Amino acid sequence: MVTEIEFPRKLLLAYNAMCKPLCRKLGLPQTAFDILMFLGNNPEYKTARDIVEVRNIKANLVSVNVDRLVQEGYLERRSVAMDRRKTELICTEKAKSLMEEGRAVQQAFGEKLFDGMDQEARKAFMKTLNSIGKNVEEILKGEY
């Protein structure tokens, strides 16, 4: 039995375990893969600062891995008009096939999580998860 405290950590470990073979095949560290998938799955986020703030990855790790992804042709840096200090990170064509493989792993991970659960149990879990999500948002806004 996994406790409420252990669950997020074990969930992340399980996700990383499922991604490991693809990362090995691509020759990418898990952090670089995660950054690329984050940018590909969330096009509203475009900067290294977004990655640091939203994904809570240390700035030096983001910097090193973004540099690698740029060097390997998965990302491009583009200056933002009217703000010479800001640089956007854009996924390249080369990144698209990698992201398709990554999304397939993410899909398989999601399916594995619900393995053995009927539709009613899935709906109940998602309802509970949504309620917890709302409560977390309230806590983050100081509404507790």
- Backbone φ and ψ for 64, nearest 5 degrees, come out as -60, -45
Provide the pLDDT for residue 26: 92
Of the candidates 12, 31, 26, the residue with the CA atom closest to the CA atom of residue 109: 12
Q: Reply yes or no on whether the pLDDT at 144 is more than 80.
A: no
Q: Determine which of 33-37, 91-95, 140-144 has the lowest per-residue pLDDT on average.
A: 140-144
Identify the pLDDT of residue 120: 96
pLDDT at 30 over 90: yes
Write down the pLDDT at residue 47.
Answer: 93
Cα distance between residue 22 and residue 30, in whole Å = 9
Helix (H, G, I), strand (E, B) or coil at 116: coil
Q: CB–CB of 68/75 below 8 Å?
A: no
Q: Is 125 helix (H, G, I), strand (E, B) or coil?
A: helix
- 20: pLDDT confidence band, cut at 50, 70 and 90? very high
